[in-house]
Amino acid sequence: MFHKEGFTIILITFFLVAIIALLAHFFVKVPGLRIGIQMAALLILVLVLQFFRNPSRVAIQNPNHILAPVDGKVVIIDEVHEPEYFKDKRRQVSIFMSPINVHVTRYPASGVVTFSKYHPGKYLVAWHPKSSTNNERTTVVVKTSEFGEVLYRQIAGAVARRIVNYAQEGDSVLQGGDAGFIKFGSRVDLFLPLDTKINVTKDQHVVGAKTIIATSINEEE
């Protein structure tokens, strides 16, 4: 299954690859070179297809859990000042997505969207410390039953040039549901209450809608 945001790019890539393969077949006389060109074109198509894949995942609904919003590697776990919305200290967990990761963004918790804003910006590498505030990004806040308001931020990377965000203020959203897409390399930051128990470690690989990033203080009660 492929994400709907990739349909146009996949279709264009398919036709370009088909044209390149046909041109190479009829006009490149050197067999080794002809096959090389055709294989390279096919590889590009495979890379595009794998980038826009959208595996079906059913999240186990739990109001005491914050699920990973994306696939990738945890690169930051820290207590920081969140300057845009909360304007106070929060627990930050950041997940970096390489071009080979699934790039679907999923809601980390169920609730109501209270804030959703797009920011144009730069395209620093996604692991750069200032990418969270300087890069193209969207900020979304979901009001939950157990954590209060939870903020996640989609951040474009050095390659990405478009962030897709489906969250609209007032929407009721479901944990693990499709929240958007970031094209070609990116990062997602989570900002959680200070008393949240973090369940992951730095450099851990996580799976969107599956890995439990954090639990509420009520989980053990």
The tens digit of pLDDT for each residue in 104-136 reads 999 999 999 999 999 986 655 555 555 566 678
Q: What whole-number distance in Å separates Cα of residue 47 and Cα of residue 217?
A: 42
The confidence score (pLDDT) of residue 107 equals 97
Give per-residue pLDDT as tens, 129-155: 555 666 788 999 999 999 999 999 998
For 185: left if phi > 0, alpha if psi spans -120 to 50, otherwise beta; the answer is left
**What is the DSSP track for 140-209?**
EEEE-SSSSEEEEEEEE-SS---EEE---TT-EE-TT-EEEEE-SSEEEEEEE-TTPEE---TT-EE-TT
Q: What whole-number distance in Å separates Cα of residue 102 and Cα of residue 206?
A: 11
Task: Extract the tokens encoding 119.
Answer: 């920011």
Question: What phi and psi values does residue 11 have, to the nearest 5 degrees?
Answer: -65, -45
Give per-residue pLDDT as tens, 34-77: 999 999 999 999 888 887 888 888 899 999 999 999 999 999 99
Provide the 8-state DSSP code for 4: G
Active site residue: 94, 110, 186, 216, which one? 186
Edge-to-edge order in the sheet of strand 104-106: 104-106, 178-182, 163-165
The pTM score is 0.85
Q: Is 2.70.70 the CATH number for 65-215?
A: yes
Q: What is the largest CA-CA distance in the chain?
A: 73
Reference 154, options 128, 129, 183, 177; nearest CA is 183
Residue position matching structure tokens 């046909």: 22
Active-site annotation holds for 98:
no
Domain boundaries defined on the chain: 4-51, 65-215
Indicate the SS3 state at residue 54: coil
When mean pLDDT is compared across 9-18, 114-123, 194-203, the lowest value belongs to 114-123
